Amino acid sequence: MKQNELIPHLFRTEFSKICSVLTRLLGIEHCDTAEDIVSETFLSALETWTYKGIPENPVAWLYTVAKNKARNHFNRTQLFTDKIIPQLSGNLVTTFELDLSEKNITDSQLQMLFSICHPAIPNEAQVALALRILCGFGIEELASAFLTNKETINKRLYRAKEKLKTEKIKIEFPSESEINTRLDAVLTTLYLLFNEGYYSESNDNLIREDLCMEAMRLTMLLIKNEQTDIPPVNALYALMCLHASRFPARINNSGEMILYHEQNESLWNYELISMGAYYLNKASQGDYVSQYHLEAAIAYWHTQKNDTIEKWENILQLYNRLLEITYSPIVALNRAYALSKVKSNAEAIEEAEKLQLTDSHFYFILLAELYKKENKGKAKSYLVKALELSKTKSDKFSITKLMDSLR
C-alpha cells in the first residue's frame, strides 16, 4: 500500500484505538489533549515516512511514537506542577507507560462507547462523538456526513464534551444494575451510525461502507463482552450483517441505486447472510423481542429472493409487530409496500395516503410505484414531487430513471 493510501487507512483504524486508551488514562475532561497527541503522532508519520520511507511495521511505529509523545506530555505537565505546587512533585511520571495491548484497547473503546452514549447527551451528538473518538473521523468528514460546516461540527463536539465534563462522566463500564439502561443508548447510537452508512441523506455516496463497518466493529465489541452479549445486541449485529450482505448489488458501476427487485442475487454476500442468520438465531433466546429482532427478521426475508406470498406475509406481520413496539412513519410506509404484495395496490395506496408524509421523497416514490400500472400520469406527477424533495445526486438520478421508465 502506498503512503498516500496507508496513512489515511491507519488513521481510520488506529486513531480511535490510541485516542480511547489515552482518554481513559487522562479522563474525559482531557479528551482534547488525547486527540492532540494522536494527531501529532500521525503528523510525525507523514513527515518522517515521506523522507525515510514506510517502516517495516507501521502500526508498531505509531504506537511507539504515541507512547513517547504521551510521556513527553506527562513530563511537561509534571514540570509545571513541580514549579506551581512543589508539594505534589514526585517521580510517578517517569515510570509512565501507555498500555496499547489489544485487551486494553478493547476495554478502553468499550468503556468510551458507554461514556459517549450517556443519556445527558443528544443522540446526534453521541453519533458525532462516536465517529470522532471511536471511528477516527476527521472534522471535514463529520461535516460532510451531517451536511453542515466544520464550525457547526466543532461546536457540537465542544458542547458534548463540556456536558461530559460538567456531568463528571467517568470512563468505566456501567454497573450491573444500570447496564441495560445505558445499553439502550449505545445500541441506538450504533444503529444510527450504521443507518447513516446504509442510506445517507447527507452524502452523495449512496452507501458509506466505512460507517457501516465501524458500526459492526463496535457492535462486535459488545458481543465479545460477557455482560453485553445479550439478545438485542446479537439481533442488531444480525441486522447489520443481513443489510451489508446486499451492498454489492445495491449500486451499479456508476454508483447508481439498483432497486431491490432488480438486484442480481449472485452478487449478494452469502457468508454475511449465513452470519446474520446465525446471530439472529442466537438472539432468539429468552422472551424479549426488540425492534432489532424484528428488523433483522425483515432483513432476513429480504435475502430470500423468491417473490412468494409466504415471504411477504411474514414481512407484513413483522412490520405489524414492529409498529406496535415503536411507531415510525418510514416503517409504516414500508409496511404499505408489503401490504401491496399480500393484498392489493388499492389497499396499499389507501394505507399509504393516510400517512401524508408529504415532506419525504420516499412517500412519493412509493405512491408512484403503486400507481404506475393503473395511472401512469399520476405516478409521474408523484415522481416529480419526489425529485423536488430529494437531496442527493444518486436519489435524483434514480428518480429520473424511474420517470423515464414510465414513458
Which among 178, 213, 248 is the end of a domain? 213
User: 165-174: per-residue pLDDT in tens?
Assistant: 888 888 888 8
Q: Same domain, yes or no, for 108 and 183?
A: yes
Q: Same domain, yes or no, for 81 and 107?
A: no
Which among 197, 213, 229 is the end of a domain? 213
- For the chain, the average pLDDT equals 86
Q: Same domain, yes or no, for 93 and 180?
A: no
- The answer to whether 214 touches 137, Cβ cutoff 8 Å, is no
Distances (CA, A) of 136 to 199, 233, 275, 282: 20, 23, 27, 31
Number of domains in the chain: 3
User: 137-181: per-residue pLDDT in tens?
Assistant: 778 878 876 767 899 999 999 888 888 888 888 888 888 888 877
Ranges 13-27, 208-222, 254-268: which has the least confidence: 254-268
260 domain residue, yes or no: no
> What pLDDT shows up at residue 90?
46
Task: Residue 125: give the domain boundaries.
Answer: 101-213
Q: Same domain, yes or no, for 124 and 88?
A: no
Q: Same domain, yes or no, for 89 and 122?
A: no
Distance in angstroms (rounded) separating the CA atoms of residues 90 and 95 = 11
Instruction: State the chain's maximal CA–CA distance in angstroms.
Output: 85
400 domain residue, yes or no: yes
- pTM of the prediction? 0.82
Q: Same domain, yes or no, for 116 and 60?
A: no
160 domain residue, yes or no: yes
- The answer to whether 323 touches 354, Cβ cutoff 8 Å, is no
Distance in angstroms (rounded) separating the CA atoms of residues 273 and 102 = 29
Nearest CA-CA partner of 361 in 323, 333, 401: 333
Q: Same domain, yes or no, for 36 and 70?
A: yes
SS (H, E, C) 60-72: HHHHHHHHHHHHH
Q: Same domain, yes or no, for 106 and 195?
A: yes
349 domain residue, yes or no: no
User: 44-54: per-residue pLDDT in tens?
Assistant: 999 999 888 99
Which among 100, 126, 146 is the end of a domain? 100
Q: Same domain, yes or no, for 105 and 152?
A: yes
Q: Same domain, yes or no, for 123 and 42?
A: no
305 domain residue, yes or no: no
Q: Same domain, yes or no, for 108 and 203?
A: yes
- Which of helix, strand or coil describes residue 371? helix
Q: Same domain, yes or no, for 33 and 120?
A: no
Q: Is the pLDDT of residue 398 over 90?
A: no
337 domain residue, yes or no: no
User: 58-117: per-residue pLDDT in tens?
Assistant: 999 999 999 999 888 888 876 556 554 444 444 444 456 788 999 999 999 999 889 888
307 domain residue, yes or no: no
Distance in angstroms (rounded) separating the CA atoms of residues 309 and 320 = 16
Element (H, E) at 355: helix 345-355
159 domain residue, yes or no: yes
